[in-house]
Structure 1
């Protein structure tokens, strides 16, 4: 499944209709969540039936396409299942109990309620919300895909306008020549990562660079009268600044992950619990700014696309142990050089990257975890050389 995003250009009436559709989807979600809270043994089909009952009870719900109503109830059920999964796996900390939405930003249609034009440059929403025909602008060509392959269509509201996303059911794979390289990555705050070959990627620090501008925008918001049009404009400008930084961080993670995966046949990295690391109030801003979550996510995604092996290993003592003899050399965070009695003297981060690679070469990594590391599982004791015969088969499991 891939997601293709296009910028939409609604007029004022269409923008109001989109907002009404988003509020209706939010209303259905909150009603489904309340129904689940008040009744035991509620299933996915019960929530789907509830969306039909709501359509009969409220005229504004009936105006939304029937499959869009079902999609809203299904998204509620996905949040409930995620909560159940976290409880079953005994995830540390909060389990992600579903919450009521008060400022939703998207509405999702399934295979009905919309129609693409012959040129694939416009989309028309055919339900009774009155959204109508929207112009699409983007760098993708929808002519490459059949209409039957488009399983979901979302309208997303952001600070700089509205976007239409197409969820296309297609298997994305790209064949490239094996490089014969294996690499270990040690992420950090001083450098974005240091690999086992000694190469370091600088940390861009996008939030730090834009922090002064952010503070300026925030001061403008605080000076405006609450409820005024000027305050709304100032809030939108602040949101645009946040959006710019998040896009910079994502673009950096995507491009860097693609280069790393294309250049190596095996990529080893730390199975970090980013959520727990961010609890350190002295480092929380820097940890959230560096974007380890997105980088690891895209490493795993491109690993599947290019048929490469990505391995997450336990980060314990990778900085303390000597990569040459295995002796534990205690050092504080301020000590940036690893010096062992065996004569091995390396940069602290490169020593950790080599240890990460060595662990990966003797283990098989996780399957399909998120970058916070909360659901990661390490299979110890299975030699990676057993997997060398079928790199593609291994990558499909990751």
Structure 2
């Protein structure tokens, strides 16, 4: 798979930025937010039930059903009409994803839509809220009774026009409530071409090893915070179910997990941006993390590494900076010799690649070189945009006999 971007996409990439702010208010306001979230969950589940019974064939049918629910239930009528439609759209998104998985014939379970038990957010569209002129507070104008909330964050909303804000979400987390603004912007950034290409082989000993034999340490955030997590979980188990102390203990446990989640995201974002800005072509493994997590001996370490999140941010920054990102099939990259192509069988415990041609490399370094070679061969045969914007459709990138792929692609 190659991310092929047109000239217009390289000049301007339209993205949806999610700006998050901490919300401050009274207890009654937070209770009103909880009620709005429960209403969202109710509408989403009722819409899903309507589809299961054969009463809805499209998202438009679910949107019409929202008005029926508003007339039938008073608490549903209190929620903004567009917020009710957003709840129905969540149900249809799960349905559409299930149908897409069936058409693609992905192995295993196809993700049949299920009823939601723990909703954590309510989403408004372009109505039901009003942002203050100083951009320091937001007022929700529907009948839920949320009212005016103060917001604090590190981003300045004055840089964006009100019509750029397409969605507003209220999100409940372990450490409080947050307001998210989904802003539609044309984002593009440019850096000087480095003329380099690398292949990345992710692992558990090191987070990744590139084709230049440079490694990045695996942070292991879950392993480092596991002791505090176990203590917090033990406190939850000792409390009586339904008591206030148990609720407080659960909140502490949630904060521990939330901190680890934020650490993983911060690490993935910063590392992916660094890799993209320093290289013009990045090839990485197309791993099936869900299948790899079925290995009970390595599941915790694999999930702790958060490889998929790193890949998502790699592809995102690749589009923003106009760089080439290539997902390469991972089969055989560790077994094949990067120098002569001979298959050398080895287990996971064998960390050094030794071939009869005389090639002696670290196992991950050898795999990273194979990933880069496969990625460049894919670019050379199919054609993609080079570093020059005038070469947006791959003119002149076909492979010549005896040519060096790296030099030809980067030329």
Alignment TM-score, normalising by the size of structure 2? 0.90
Q: Cα deviations across residues 133-190 of structure 1 (Å, max 9, x unaligned)?
A: 1111111111111100100000000000001001111121111111111010000011
- Tell me, in whole angstroms, the C-alpha distance in 1 between the residues paired with 2:140 and 2:355: 67
Q: How many residues align?
A: 379
Cross-structure match for 2:184: 169
Which structure is higher in RCO with an 8 Å CA cutoff and minimum separation 6?
A: 2
Q: Cα deviations across residues 186-234 of structure 1 (Å, max 9, x unaligned)?
A: 0001110000000000111110111111111111001001110000000
Cross-structure match for 1:74: 89
Q: Cα deviations across residues 344-367 of structure 1 (Å, max 9, x unaligned)?
A: 111110000000000000114xxx
Q: 1:147 to 1:277 in 2, by over 3 A?
A: same
Q: 1:42 to 1:357 in 2, by over 3 A?
A: same
- Tell me, in whole angstroms, the C-alpha distance in 2 between the residues paired with 1:37 and 1:170: 37
Q: Say whether 1:96 aligns with 2:111.
A: yes
Shift of 1:382: 2.6
Q: Say whether 1:7 aligns with 2:22.
A: yes
Shift of 1:326: 0.7
Cross-structure match for 2:408: none
Q: Say whether 1:209 aligns with 2:224.
A: yes
Cross-structure match for 1:241: 256
1:271-310 matched pairs, under 5 angstroms: 271-310=286-325
- Tell me, in whole angstroms, the C-alpha distance in 1 between the residues paired with 2:186 and 2:368: 32
Q: Say whether 1:262 aligns with 2:277.
A: yes
1:150-161 matched pairs, under 5 angstroms: 150-161=165-176
Counterpart selection for 2:358 from 311, 320, 343: 343
8 A Cα contact 2:383 2:393, kept in partner? no
Shift of 1:392: 8.7
Pairwise CA RMSD: 1.5
Counterpart selection for 2:31 from 9, 12, 16: 16
Aligned residue for 1:140, secondary structure, equals coil
1:49-60 matched pairs, under 5 angstroms: 49-60=64-75
- Tell me, in whole angstroms, the C-alpha distance in 2 between the residues paired with 1:41 and 1:127: 27
- Tell me, in whole angstroms, the C-alpha distance in 2 between the residues paired with 1:26 and 1:333: 45
Cross-structure match for 2:10: none
Q: Cα deviations across residues 369-398 of structure 1 (Å, max 9, x unaligned)?
A: xxxxxxxxxxxx834477555489579xxx
Q: Say whether 1:222 aligns with 2:242.
A: no
Q: Cα deviations across residues 284-327 of structure 1 (Å, max 9, x unaligned)?
A: 01100000011000000110111111000011110011111111
Cross-structure match for 2:147: 132
- Tell me, in whole angstroms, the C-alpha distance in 2 between the residues paired with 1:157 and 1:40: 32
- Structure 1: gaps of 5 or more residues: 365-380
Alignment TM-score, normalising by the size of structure 1? 0.93
- Tell me, in whole angstroms, the C-alpha distance in 2 between the residues paired with 1:51 and 1:386: 46
- Structure 2: gaps of 5 or more residues: 1-15, 395-411
Cross-structure match for 1:376: none
- Tell me, in whole angstroms, the C-alpha distance in 1 between the residues paired with 2:335 and 2:118: 46
Cross-structure match for 1:118: 133
Q: Say whether 1:86 aligns with 2:85.
A: no
Aligned residue for 1:7, secondary structure, equals strand
- Tell me, in whole angstroms, the C-alpha distance in 1 between the residues paired with 2:116 and 2:378: 42
Q: Say whether 1:146 aligns with 2:146.
A: no
